[in-house]
A and B are shown apart, each in its own frame.
Chain A
Amino acid sequence: GQNIDQPTEMTATEGAIVQINCTYQTSGFNGLFWYQQHAGEAPTFLSYNVLDGLEEKGRFSSFLSRSKGYSYLLLKELQMKDSASYLCAPMDSNYQLIWGAGTKLIIKP
């Protein structure tokens, strides 16, 4: 079956760094996406990794290890507006995104 495992909730302090881990099992693999979803809003695209390694994009970086079925999203210099849910979504052999419940990130002053 297809499965995604992320922590349900994490708390971090404004200005700090936080790493959100994701492990996955899919039928085939064509890359992995990270999305941000604020409460009551639709998801917004953050990153896409298809090869192993780290992709950096401003304050956000995403890492992928295909052999381990593992990814993480690293958020630096946290701001209050980063409080949101973060969705790890691998793409299977049919190019369909597999969605989990995501990680709710709470930023405290």
Chain B
Amino acid sequence: GAVVSQHPSRVICKSGTSVKIECRSLDFQATTMFWYRQFPKKSLMLMATSNEGSKATYEQGVEKDKFLINHASLTLSTLTVTSAHPEDSSFYICSARVVGIDWAQYFGPGTRLLVL
């Protein structure tokens, strides 16, 4: 149980394009999903917390107009990196919290984004 999928696993795009990443909880409902980015050998950096049906809460320093988050259902959240630039290249990971069972965050496999 508590499986989270993420798609795509890897994406290469040109500078200036937008990229959408999907995060799905496969066997549970998640009222809260989280989006992280991680640079090599660095700690996870929380970008935003997404609650189903409401606007995402962004961490300080994260541009909400650049990183668009939509949490339309209890099993799906999307992150769109708009007008991507090479400095947006990173490992993006989502996680989902199980409703009413425990407080653990279960992570998707991550998406490796390379912007050329």
Q: Which residues of A contact B (CB under 8 A)?
A: 30-31, 33, 40-45, 48, 87, 91, 95-97, 99-102
Contacts and interface: CB of A to CB of B under 8 A. Distances in A.
A45 B43 contact: no
B28 interface: no
A41 B110 contact: yes
20 contacts: A30-B103, A33-B104, A33-B105, A40-B91, A41-B110, A42-B108, A43-B44, A43-B93, A45-B104, A45-B106, A45-B107, A48-B103, A48-B104, A87-B43, A87-B44, A96-B46, A97-B105, A99-B43, A99-B44, A100-B43
A44 B42 contact: no
B109 interface: yes
A31 B42 CA distance: 23
* Main secondary structure on B side of the interface with A: loop
B103 A31 contact: yes
Contacts of B49: 96
Given A100-B43, A101-B42, A102-B43, A42 B109 contact: yes
B103 A45 contact: no
B44 to A, nearest CB: 4
Nearest to B104: A45
Nearest to B36: A99
Nearest to B41: A101
Contacts of A33: 104-105
B102 A43 contact: no
